[in-house]
A = this chain, B = another copy of it.
Amino acid sequence: MAYAAVFSALADPTRRHIFEALREQPQTVGELAKGQPVSRPAVSQHLKVLEAAKLVSVEPQGNRRLYLIKRDGLEDLRQYLESFWSDALSAYGTEIARRMKGK
């Protein structure tokens, strides 16, 4: 059920922006905040959520904290997606639909 955290983490636009910014390169909290229309504490809180969803990780460097993308969360999501992706599933669904319509 790890994908649940990923869904709600990436459901927020600001959080997606932060996540996508980290895609370019690892960044500190301050750097990330400059690229977003919200305050630095807000970014901190968002990063906490992203971290819990295993979408980012931190590397403390003295004073600063460098955040970088982590793929674990995406992998959880991909696995969930995959389970919906069999042709058999789709075929079964439409078949039932056809029968219920009485055709």
Contacts and interface: CB of A to CB of B under 8 A. Distances in A.
So how many copies of this chain end up in the complex? 2
A34 interface: no
Interface string A13-24: 100100000110
B8 A11 contact: yes
A14 to B, nearest CB: 12
Contact of A26 (B23, B66, B68, B100): B100
Interface string A66-94: 10110100100110010011000110111
Interface of A: 4, 7-8, 10-11, 13, 16, 22-23, 25-26, 59, 61, 66, 68-69, 71, 74, 77-78, 81, 84-85, 89-90, 92-94, 96-97, 100-101
